[in-house]
Structure 1
Amino acid sequence: MQKFQIVKKPAYAIESVDNALQLILLLQERDALRVNEAAERLGVAPSTAHRLLATLLYRGFALQDESRRYTAGPALRGVTRQGRLQEVVSTALPQLEELASAVGETVNLVARFGTSVRFIASVESAQLLRVGDRSGTVLPARLSSGGKAILATLDGEALHQLYSGRVAQLAGDHLSADELGALQEELARVRAKGYALNLGRTEPDIAAVGVAVPAPAQRSWLAVSLSAPRSRAEALDRPDTLAALRGCCDTIAASLEAVQLAGPH
């Protein structure tokens, strides 16, 4: 006789967490989900369902289409239709290791989820004074070098929606008109140079430079960054270092495309 266990809802279940998990299951089961449908399914007010979906959107578990419907996000799709996030890391790792050996600094692969970037892989520098493994670290995209490099591939409308829409307000990422204008000006400079610098903006003693990994439709979702102690910040901006970084990104893009892992959706 087959043995199985009946899992009951715990008496100590946290309702908001349970509702969020139910929404994740719904997003996996359906092609699209509207706020009213989510509210009806959960038995909550539409405003509550909207806040839950906005949080899932912020963390990459949901996406919103042109009709304001919610669909499964990159965190549920393993970032790509064709494969899983770990496959992306495995494909890029040889290039990351080669770059770390060539430049002597810690190399990171970062992915954007909403207004944040997550470090999904790191190869540490062999130098005694170095930046350690950053894997798992989450930073605001608009402050980190890799995040800014990725954001620079978005158009003005996409940026406005990301930082000025209702979701941004609910997630605490809303920027004023002046702040958004300043960000757009900074991203224009990043776009012109082809790379982004972060000199102590996220951590005072760390400098970083990031370049977006080219992607279809010019909207990147990955970037490679170099992290170093502030004392070696000037080395990150050298032409040879930047050339090696760009070459790494181009090679990763080609490798991901070859195994059909190039796009986030």
Structure 2
Amino acid sequence: MRVVNSLVERCFALVSLLANEAAAMRLGEIAEQLGLQKSAAHRMLNVLCEIGWVEQEQVTGFYKLSLRLAILGQRFLSATHLTDVCQPVLEELAAASAELVRMAVIQGETLTWIAQVQGAKSGLKYQPEMVAKVRLGSTANGKAYLSKLLPKDALRIVIKSADDGQDGTISSVEDFIKELKLTRKRGWAISDGQTEPGVVAIAAPITLIGGPAVGTVSVAGPSSRLTQEQHGSVASSVLAAAAKLGELWPLRQSCTEAS
């Protein structure tokens, strides 16, 4: 349960909560998750319904986000030209690896999926649900992002994400810090069955030249194809793609200004 205070913070916390849930939620569950009285949660939901951000199901009375937020998000993403600039690099990596390639961007202290390209043309294809937020403690992308932070900050963020219900708890602080140090040293992270059984993902942080990390890029597929013998070559391809994306990323600003 997360306690929120101001009206604006409550409103955004409510929208964020509904955005994290695929299904509609009942009033009592929403109030409990946000640490609010039912009456206060109901008032906010009524206002959000009136202005078109939230919808209430007629049969169940449960609440869910309307498509308005998703539409605005797509408009903003399109206006940045970020996916346009990065798409060729992602497609090149997908063709070379013949597996699923995904890219996520850092927003505050979270990581959000924004693009994917399926490189597998036949046989078994790994196609996960395209949820918004990346699970930080267990995914290759999450660990790649966290490896760019100070250990104390990485640990704080992953514990917070677990408390917010966005990720599972880490099994050992010592092992977690050790893995982040290894990830930082070699430049890439791996998840071998940690997120989904039988699935391997290898990710690298996207870092601006002389600047901070801005996102991550990964290759993921069945462990029957991404065997241990292939981890090194796949990691090299992911690192090369991350370097290209880091060089192209500043074009986002120039493209935005040009438009």
For Structure 1 versus Structure 2, the TM-score category normalised by the shorter chain is: 0.5 to 0.7
User: Against the structure 1 CA distance between its residues 23 and 259, is the aligned structure 2 distance closer, same or farther, given a 3 Å change threshold?
Assistant: same
Q: Could you tell me whether the CA contact under 8 Å between 1:111 and 1:222 is conserved in 2?
A: yes
What is the aligned partner in structure 1 of residue 118 from structure 2?
124
Aligned partner (choices 141, 144, 147) of residue 139 of structure 2: 144
Q: CA deviation at 1:148?
A: 0.7
Q: Could you tell me whether the CA contact under 8 Å between 1:124 and 1:130 is conserved in 2?
A: no
What is the aligned partner in structure 1 of residue 102 from structure 2?
108
Q: Does 1:85 align with 2:80?
A: no
For residue 224 of structure 2, give the secondary structure of its aligned residue in structure 1: helix
Q: 2 CA distance for matches of 1:182 and 1:135?
A: 28
Q: 2 CA distance for matches of 1:104 and 1:84?
A: 30
Q: 2 CA distance for matches of 1:231 and 1:174?
A: 25
For residue 225 of structure 1, give the secondary structure of its aligned residue in structure 2: strand
Q: 1 CA distance for matches of 2:164 and 2:198?
A: 32
Q: 1 CA distance for matches of 2:107 and 2:194?
A: 20
Normalised to the residue count of structure 2, the TM-score between the two structures is 0.60
Q: 2 CA distance for matches of 1:197 and 1:141?
A: 12
**TM-superposition CA deviations, 1:225-254 (whole Å, max 9, x none):** 101111012264133x32222121111111
Normalised to the residue count of structure 1, the TM-score between the two structures is 0.59
Q: CA deviation at 1:120?
A: 1.9
Q: CA deviation at 1:173?
A: 6.0
User: Against the structure 1 CA distance between its residues 190 and 204, is the aligned structure 2 distance closer, same or farther, given a 3 Å change threshold?
Assistant: same
What is the aligned-residue identity percentage?
21
Q: 2 CA distance for matches of 1:84 and 1:133?
A: 25
Q: Which runs of 5+ in 1 are unaligned?
A: 1-15, 26-46, 53-74
Q: 1 CA distance for matches of 2:124 and 2:110?
A: 24
For residue 225 of structure 2, give the secondary structure of its aligned residue in structure 1: helix
For residue 207 of structure 2, give the secondary structure of its aligned residue in structure 1: coil
Aligned partner (choices 221, 232, 245) of residue 228 of structure 1: 221
Question: Any residues of structure 2 matched to 1:46-65 within 5 Å, and which?
Answer: 48=36
Q: 1 CA distance for matches of 2:93 and 2:8?
A: 40
What is the aligned partner in structure 2 of residue 57 from structure 1?
none
Q: Does 1:23 align with 2:11?
A: yes
Q: Could you tell me whether the CA contact under 8 Å between 2:135 and 2:166 is conserved in 1?
A: no
What is the aligned partner in structure 2 of residue 213 from structure 1?
206
Q: 2 CA distance for matches of 1:204 and 1:105?
A: 17
Q: 2 CA distance for matches of 1:132 and 1:121?
A: 15
Q: 2 CA distance for matches of 1:111 and 1:131?
A: 24
Q: Does 1:257 align with 2:250?
A: yes
Q: Could you tell me whether the CA contact under 8 Å between 1:122 and 1:135 is conserved in 2?
A: no
For residue 140 of structure 1, give the secondary structure of its aligned residue in structure 2: coil
Q: Could you tell me whether the CA contact under 8 Å between 1:119 and 1:135 is conserved in 2?
A: no
Q: 2 CA distance for matches of 1:168 and 1:204?
A: 20
Code of the aligned partner of 2:120: A
Q: 1 CA distance for matches of 2:92 and 2:225?
A: 20
Q: 2 CA distance for matches of 1:150 and 1:126?
A: 26
